[in-house]
A and B are shown apart, each in its own frame.
Chain A
Amino acid sequence: MTVRFRPYDPDRRFVWPLLAPPSDTRRRWLALHRTPPDWSVLFGRALDLMMIDARPDGACGVIIGGGTSRLRWRQGRTWTIIDLELEGMGGAKRAVVRTALLKAARYAS
């Protein structure tokens, strides 16, 4: 184990929550990046790690858990706005899924 201070992580994407969420089930994030990742693969992998079913919803979306929840995104060359809607699960699970997806958006390669 090594401990070091690294205030800037060159492999991390900058992803921030945008505005006040309209409800506990919805979030909007802004991601800044040099090259847009394949969000479909990235989020699909994160959901698979949580043992949650997911399938693509067109080119810019993922349907989560049988259709009650979804991710949608629209992107430019250096930015992506991601909308997350989580329905049909308890508040505790919603918080874990939300945190894991945000972590994946920031750190997953």
Chain B
Amino acid sequence: MHTVRESTTVAAPADRIFRLLAEPERAVVFIPGLNRIQNVSPNRALGCSWDYEFNWLGWIVSGRSECTRYEEPTTYQFKTLTGNPSTWTYRCEPAGAGTQLTLEVEYEVPENQLARFAGEAVLRRMNENTAREIVGNLKALVES
């Protein structure tokens, strides 16, 4: 397993950030390349699952995810259920008058078509950039 971690201080309460994180449909507004979330199961907390679809210049990455930790308003985690395993964990911890937002993504380097075009170092850099953009987008949405 490889891990990327990105963190920032957000001038907003944890519950406001958690509201953005904890509804799967909202992810399309702050995750770059994620274009569709569909077939979200009716249970909206632990065990909730959904289909996702990323698109990078015609390359489609799709699958199903499931919420595996739901501790409002501090921890939200989901795992990809199909194909290459990955675990995404958001943490919202008090930091002065605001919140320390951390995103940690654990993933395995896929041995498939994508890996043929993007080696381990490239994938790592892509994942680091994506994580940085996600926490930046969340900060922008709730702060200003």
Q: Which residues of A contact B (CB under 8 A)?
A: 1-7, 9, 46, 49-51, 89-90, 92-93, 95-97, 100, 103-104, 106-107
Contacts and interface: CB of A to CB of B under 8 A. Distances in A.
Interface stretch (B20-28, B42-50, B92-100): B20-28
Contacts of B125: none
29 contacts: A1-B61, A1-B63, A1-B110, A2-B60, A2-B62, A3-B59, A3-B112, A3-B113, A3-B114, A4-B60, A4-B113, A5-B58, A5-B60, A6-B58, A6-B60, A9-B55, A49-B26, A49-B29, A50-B26, A50-B29, A51-B16, A51-B141, A89-B144, A92-B136, A92-B144, A96-B140, A100-B30, A103-B29, A103-B35
Contacts of B144: 89-90, 92-93
Interface of B: 16, 19-20, 23, 25-26, 28-30, 35-36, 55, 58-63, 80, 82-84, 110, 112-114, 136-137, 139-144
Nearest to B115: A3
Contact of B36 (A5, A93, A97, A107): A107
Given A3-B110, A49-B23, 14 more contacts: A1-B110, A2-B62, A2-B82, A6-B55, A6-B60, A9-B55, A46-B29, A50-B141, A90-B144, A93-B140, A96-B137, A100-B28, A103-B28, A107-B28
A104 B29 CA distance: 9
Contacts of A95: 140
A96 to B, nearest CB: 5
Nearest to B65: A1
Ranked 5 nearest A-B pairs via Cβ:
A1-B83, A1-B63, A90-B144, A92-B140, A100-B29
